[in-house]
Chains A and B, each alone.
Chain A
Amino acid sequence: MTERRLSRAALLLAAIGIGIAGYLVYVHYTDTKVLCSISHGCETVQKSKYAKLAGVPVALLGLIGYVAILVSLFVRTETGRLASAAMALVGLGFSGWLTYLEAARIHAWCQWCVGSAIVMTLLTIVLVWRLLLAAPVHSDKAPVADVAPG
């Protein structure tokens, strides 16, 4: 797996994450019934007290996170790769917490949230792999053999 392929995979995953989080943000702000094949689960999760963090919808935080990761993929420096992986790790940790809440406290499953958690897990694997695989660089301004995500 080359760094170029990993970057493309990350780009695709971030775009999927933006789609999922964007839909949940839309549902939140338009008070629309969320499409959910699991009886009642999505609405239960979306309306639970854990759906907001300090007053900010978790879906909006997720959307911001995915967009930030997407933007960082275009920063073709070591700092950019570090930032991508760091944001994905934060996303992974928080997704894990939200999944725990669904299982242990809310007792309901939102397929969109589970989907986002899976995407964030894959994104973290890809971005950490990309970080470790990156060719040696001696200067943040002169990366060797770096590639654009697309």
Chain B
Amino acid sequence: MASREERKRAAREARIETERRDAAAAQRRRRLTQLGGIVLGAAAIVAILIAVSSGGGSKPQTSSAQSASTLLTGIPQKGLTLGNAKAPVTIVEFNDMQCPICRDYQSAVFPELVQRYVRTGKVRMEMRLQSFIGPDSVTAGRAVAGAAKQNLAWTFAEAFYANQGQENSGYVTPDFVKSIATATPGLNHSKLVTDASSPAAAQTLTEGKSAFAARSLTGTPSFLIGRTGGQLSVLNWSALKASQFTGPINSLLAE
């Protein structure tokens, strides 16, 4: 039989163990309460961030598109080619009409190249249409191919980029194409619609895709550059700065 001292010690140990267990349970409850609190707080903050993120930035689609500028006025266009056919240097651009970087190139670099080299007959440009971003790319690409039949592909493309919408949002509707055609001086919309739905327009996209694959290119915009009639090389650009293009052009012109 246990002595009184032993019973007291056992009771004390049992009490300490119970207190320890109670303290641990209270600690767990406290931690979980804290975790629940910060999860709720975080969820509230994320909800606000999502609301802000969803609400801003969408470009409103208007029935009247921003018109093409006068940048290309007076410069010869033939099919998907811009500039003097006898220009000593050729630049081939691989572009997707939905591509936002192509639009940025169009606004940040293209005007300077046109003014300095295309308008002066030193450079001619060709377009190789891509359509890998989504269905809107196909519709837009075929519309450009249709405009090429009226030798206004580059003017149409300029107006398109000026009104470019959110990728794959379904914005390239017949009404949108009509608004771009209307914003392109000299373009016949009815003929554009007919030409854009022709097998020839589809063939233009197929050829653009083949040329893209043949060069193992990985994104748009991509460019080839070289002496007209000669071998063209890939122009490796890292920033949308005119200097990245004028250097290679000047080198070729100096040959």
Contacts and interface: CB of A to CB of B under 8 A. Distances in A.
Interface stretch (A7-15, A16-24, A27-35, A113-121): A27-35
Interface stretch (B46-54, B69-77, B114-122, B141-149): B46-54
B100 A47 contact: yes
Given A47-B101, A132-B31, A40 B220 contact: yes
B76 to A, nearest CB: 31
Interface residues of B, number: 40
Interface in B211-247: 218-220, 237-241
B39 A32 contact: no
Contacts of B56: 49, 52-54
Nearest to B166: A49
Given A53-B49, A85-B35, A40 B57 contact: no
Chain A interface category by residue count: 35 or more
Interface string B25-69: 001000110110011011101100110110011110000000000
A86 B37 CA distance: 9
A136 B19 CA distance: 14
Given A47-B100, A136-B23, A93 B42 contact: yes
Given A82-B34, A86-B42, A107 B100 contact: no
A108 interface: yes
A105 B165 CA distance: 13
B46 to A, nearest CB: 3
Nearest to B220: A40
Contacts of B188: none
A90 interface: yes
Contacts of A47: 100-101, 104
Given A40-B133, A82-B38, A131-B31, A97 B240 contact: no
Given A43-B219, A93-B42, A30 B53 contact: no
5 contacts: A31-B239, A49-B59, A53-B52, A53-B53, A108-B133
Interface of B: 23, 27, 31-32, 34-35, 38-39, 41-43, 45-46, 49-50, 52-53, 56-59, 96, 99-101, 104, 132-134, 166-168, 218-220, 237-241
